[in-house]
Structure 1
């Protein structure tokens, strides 16, 4: 598994339009899933995704490469989602980003079972307080480090680590009560 956000500015074209195409190909799905996770509405997530890449294009020459490209795009995505959050219905619940991928080929039943388990787990993650489900999503689904999570959320790294620890404990208790625990959490 490659590290999250392995590409830095110096490995991508300096010209914004060339960089944009590569960014969209490499990170388009991650941006869309993150927006979907935060907003729970596919159409709104698609709008956010477009806005993220427009902002990335406009700011590409100012990106200094001090963070990974994936981290930078995730931060933009979270900020756009937070801006748009007031526009969506408060009754909508965030959805499992895994469900956005369509199963293909052999092993459809096995894939469906894995997705169902992930959906159940994500439902429990979403029952946690917002700061906890945010760090769980960014850490496990987006594969960001605690340093990167601190950067994209504007939260001190110690706070991120504490939230991640407490979220794991709370999720472990929930899964244990549901009989889904596979040992220690």
Structure 2
């Protein structure tokens, strides 16, 4: 699989069918991970991923290329996730990684999801309010700039920077709190 960098529209086929194949190869895992991040449900994430690429296929000829393809697909994914999740997205329930279906052969997507599950940082991230989770995920996991996050989430860039700042502070507090608890338990 090719790295999913910030490629422009010119790097892809002008034909929507050809572009779809290239988009899925370059960004399939990224979109699946993003959908899983928002939903916490592997099957729903698969459905959302399909919907994202279907929308990309339908809108390929009208995509002007004002942003990178990665940013454009991420914006579609964020919007589809928000549409599918609705109010449930804003519940303060952390993602339940035990819902991942482990009964099948491990694919690249399954492997990526398993790595997310094991990440201690991600566990801290999931304790934060959703806007902070979203900002940190898009910035650190998808390597989007604050401008690209603003485009993908339809919020001002200043708001994105503020959320990143506050999220980093909250993460530091969470980690220090856990360290203090571990120190007390170890004493």
> TM-score scaled by structure 2?
0.80
Task: Specify the alignment match of 1:11 in structure 2.
Answer: 11
Task: Specify the alignment match of 2:27 in structure 1.
Answer: 27
Verify: 1:142 aligned to 2:142, yes or no: yes
Task: Specify the alignment match of 1:75 in structure 2.
Answer: 75
The answer to whether the Cα contact below 8 Å between 2:94 and 2:127 also exists between their aligned partners in 1 is no
Q: Aligned match of 1:102 in 111, 133, 138?
A: 111
Uncovered stretches (5+) of structure 2, i.e. residues with no partner: 101-108, 181-187
In 2, distance between residues paired with 1:136 and 1:157?
14
Task: Specify the alignment match of 1:106 in structure 2.
Answer: none
Q: Deviation per CA, 1:98-142: give whole Å up to 9, x if none.
A: x85438xxxxxxx97x963x1x22121111111111101100111
The answer to whether the Cα contact below 8 Å between 1:36 and 1:42 also exists between their aligned partners in 2 is yes
Verify: 1:128 aligned to 2:128, yes or no: yes
The answer to whether the Cα contact below 8 Å between 2:4 and 2:27 also exists between their aligned partners in 1 is no
How big is the shift at 1:93? 3.9
Uncovered stretches (5+) of structure 1, i.e. residues with no partner: 104-110, 181-185
Change in 2 beyond 3 A, CA 1:72/1:121: same
In 1, distance between residues paired with 2:19 and 2:130?
33
How big is the shift at 1:10? 1.2
In 1, distance between residues paired with 2:92 and 2:171?
23
Q: How many residues align?
A: 167
How big is the shift at 1:5? 3.9
Alignment of structure 1 residues 25-64 onto 2, 5 Å: 25-64=25-64
